[in-house]
Structure 1
């Protein structure tokens, strides 16, 4: 994941490095980590970051009393299961705090959600530019953008807030159709076993839960998007309308998913989430790829600062009984990051 501020419902994640300039390091699932080249070791540590989304996540509503934000615990588990640690980014963090947290991570993860404007959008836009700048400066600093995260990246790259189209793909499991099997090399799918790759195109192993997306035609017709992204897979919604389900940047370690790779193993609130062994393997392979990319970051932040900012300093809230789609969420009361259940 990546280092990102917590945002009201839309989410960003960041991963901090576990040690300071050590000879060996481990990956941390957080989604923003800038790095200046220290001597890279054979093992590297990655710290991803996630950005919080507006709202408490449990009730499905914005908090009535505070500037609450949340990060679903499934994104945290997704990153941790691949061997990384997470630093949460609050979308309403002061800019100085946001930048400080981003200096502690090795990658960023933009989560799903619903917020497409206001402070959340501005924070995502700022973090996205930092990710590109960090890569341009020589650090390998990956971004994973999931569902809403992909939609926001489309809006930012195209500079068009209306670039996304309507689709009917809520609570739907789907296949992933590769545009060409040559696109697999060097992508998130590169290390998938051949039999699992084949099943992706025949079995419904990808969980979809969105009302918006972008068609291959619209992406290709937009010069900014077609110059930035290579389409890896497409999927069909309930009306057989085709949308881009996975895309990867040509020149940056940026991978975007309209589907939810984290849900297969870590969410149970939606009836159509696939939980088969194959589906769980999809989650694990995608998570492993993200953290393998984060390990390439040369960022080695001070261990004490990392420990003070890890998600371990907060407690998740069980909200599965509410039937809102998430089993557990981390709820933050305001930019201070204090957990509502502490």
Structure 2
């Protein structure tokens, strides 16, 4: 605008050739000015377009294959904000009220000690109760919703409780054999029941009498504890 006004004011005193020179200078200056103004916007638009295109397809390193165009792109998918990625652990209930019948003597009563729930939650998991005496169809529907199972401590080694533990354990084996990582964690009675199921020997358990005895674990020779719970144990406990 400044150049244009200046040209108009001097047009009466300058020759036509002079006007052509000034007009050329004005046009060049205006073009240069638009370049400075538009270039940042073009760069910003191009950057946004590149980011949007990159977010459409995100690949793992093994998925890039021989396609070199993806070699330096994103390598993992962004989390879905609508999904909860915390694992869900099913805890099997135990017969009784957990208080030796002081709360109720109903034979259909079942309980899960809060300590097992807190144990799973302390590791970042969510918990679903698996009621051992509920209809099996419902129980196995819930089993399909969990990422692992905990068998708790207790006293019930026979009859209906043992049968349902065995069925759940076999379901877990099927899922692991199919390639799914489905852990089963047994505590006290839970570990004993798994020992009976795996060995197919109900007499495998032996009585013992020990109290306040801090002893180390004794492993068989050449055992590999890498990747197991015992890998993190200090040497003095092994």
Q: Same fold (TM over 0.5)?
A: yes
Whether 2:200 is the aligned partner of 1:156: answer no
Tell me which residue corresponds to 2:216. Answer: 176
Q: CA deviation at 1:88?
A: 0.7
Distance 1:183 1:60, change over 3 A: farther
Q: CA deviation at 1:182?
A: 5.3
SS of the residue aligned with 1:168?
A: coil
Whichever structure has more helix as a proportion of its residues is 2
Q: CA deviation at 1:198?
A: 2.6
Q: Is the 8 A contact 1:55 1:62 kept in 2?
A: no
Q: CA deviation at 1:87?
A: 0.5
Distance 1:158 1:115 in 2: 18
Instruction: Please list every run of 5 or more consecutive structure 1 residues that lacks an aligned counterpart in the other structure.
Output: 1-21, 27-43, 202-342
Aligned with residue 128 of structure 2, among 87, 96, 99: 87
| Alpha-carbon RMSD | 2.3
Distance 1:126 1:184, change over 3 A: same
Tell me which residue corresponds to 1:77. Answer: 118
Instruction: Please list every run of 5 or more consecutive structure 2 residues that lacks an aligned counterpart in the other structure.
Output: 1-78
Distance 1:90 1:169, change over 3 A: farther
Whether 2:135 is the aligned partner of 1:135: answer no
Aligned with residue 188 of structure 2, among 129, 141, 147: 147
Distance 2:113 2:234 in 1: 28
Larger relative contact order (C-alpha < 8 A, sep ≥ 6)? 1
Q: Is the 8 A contact 1:50 1:88 kept in 2?
A: yes
TM-score normalised by length of structure 1: 0.43
Whichever structure has more strand as a proportion of its residues is 1
Distance 1:182 1:151, change over 3 A: closer
SS of the residue aligned with 2:126?
A: coil
